[in-house]
């Protein structure tokens, strides 16, 4: 049995065998969404091979259960490239998600904005991304499946569902391009000017490897940023992880509204 199948069996033994439909990966300071799910929480430490996800502002638990009548798996912590130097650290969790039956995954993150119309406390739906790091979680993957097409990687139908849900909730959900910067240091103002020139709207230290891995595994994917600050050189606040954690919950409240509304409208349609 593969490692992901073994872990999926372990999770199903604790949380029930009904197939999961959607995965949610929670970014820094966005953890309270896990508490909204009625289900079973399993510490990553009980899931051999899961990342330690030790960054503060993350709660390294997998919660499997119901949100608005839809079976979801919520990853309370993610592994960032900057923790270990491994861009594929989220591969096993995503393989497990697939083995649990998921059709799709929504990644969330905290991000800095480079757009005057997207302010701290706002959400941004990723229309696309720029892999500013040059890293790739599929380096070393031996099969032909590694040549993953990334056109429409951010699933148009899932994005349309999320936009409609946001509209219905009166939550602004502008779309924009997210640039992945490796971190863990924040960007310099010159780097932000460069990323802006290259077409980025928001910048952050995660999500892109997960989008690549999800597409590799055949999971449909969307991602939402909770903007915690204007990017370096564009705002007056001092950028810090403390500030990120303090600001992210503003977006989390909106995120929960949008996700709940989207799931409520789902019925038996594909996500």
Which 211-240 residues touch ligand HPA, going by CB under 6 A?
228-229, 231, 239
Q: Is 207 in the site for ligand HPA (CB under 6 A)?
A: no
User: Is 243 part of the annotated catalytic residue set?
Assistant: no
Smallest separation (angstroms) from ligand HPA to the CB of 218: 29
Q: Is 24 in the site for ligand HPA (CB under 6 A)?
A: no
The 3 state secondary structure assigned to 5-66 is: HHHHHHHHHHHCCCCCCEEEECCCCCCHHHHCCEEEEEEHHHCCCCCCCCCCCCCCEEEEEE
Q: Is 126 in the site for ligand HPA (CB under 6 A)?
A: no
Closest CA to 84 of 107, 132, 50: 50
Near ligand HPA by CB under 6 A: residue from 73, 107, 244, 271: 244
Q: Is 114 in the site for ligand HPA (CB under 6 A)?
A: no
Smallest separation (angstroms) from ligand HPA to the CB of 203: 5
User: Is 41 part of the annotated catalytic residue set?
Assistant: no
Of 4 and 229, CB closest to ligand HPA: 229
Near ligand HPA by CB under 6 A: residue from 102, 165, 203, 219: 203
Near ligand HPA by CB under 6 A: residue from 20, 25, 111, 271: 111
Stretch that binds ligand HPA, among 43-51, 71-79, 171-179, 180-188 (CB under 6 A): 180-188
User: Is 80 part of the annotated catalytic residue set?
Assistant: yes
Q: What number of chain residues touch ligand HPA (CB under 6 A)?
A: 14
Q: Is 132 in the site for ligand HPA (CB under 6 A)?
A: no
What whole-number distance in Å separates Cα of residue 37 and Cα of residue 21? Answer: 14
**Residues labelled catalytic:** 28, 58, 80, 82-83, 110, 205-206, 229, 241
């Amino acid at each position: 049995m593969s490692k992901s199948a073994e872990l999926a069996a372990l999770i199903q033994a604790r949380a029930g065998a009904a197939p999961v439909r959607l995965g949610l990966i929670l970014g820094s300071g966005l953890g309270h969404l896990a508490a909204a799910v009625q289900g079973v929480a399993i510490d990553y430490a009980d899931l051999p091979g899961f990342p330690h996800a030790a960054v503060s502002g993350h709660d390294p638990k997998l919660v499997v259960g119901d949100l608005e009548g839809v079976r979801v798996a919520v990853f309370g912590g993610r592994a960032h490239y900057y923790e270990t130097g491994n861009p594929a650290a989220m591969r096993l969790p995503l393989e497990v998600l697939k083995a649990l039956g998921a059709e799709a995954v929504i990644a969330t993150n905290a991000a800095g904005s480079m757009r005057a119309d997207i302010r701290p406390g706002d959400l941004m739906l990723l229309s696309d991304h720029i892999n500013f790091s040059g890293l790739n979680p599929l380096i070393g993957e031996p099969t032909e499946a590694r040549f993953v097409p990334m056109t429409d990687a951010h699933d148009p139908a899932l994005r349309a569902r999320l936009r409609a849900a946001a509209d219905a909730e009166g939550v602004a959900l502008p779309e924009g391009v997210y640039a992945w910067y490796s971190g863990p240091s924040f960007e310099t103002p010159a780097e932000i000017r460069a990323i802006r020139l290259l077409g980025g709207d928001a910048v952050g230290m995660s999500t892109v490897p997960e989008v690549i891995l999800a597409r590799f595994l055949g999971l449909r994917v969307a991602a939402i940023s909770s903007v915690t600050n204007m990017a370096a050189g564009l705002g007056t606040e001092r950028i810090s992880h403390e500030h990120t954690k303090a600001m992210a919950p503003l977006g989390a409240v909106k995120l929960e509204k949008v996700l709940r509304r989207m799931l409520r409208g789902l019925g038996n349609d594909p996500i």
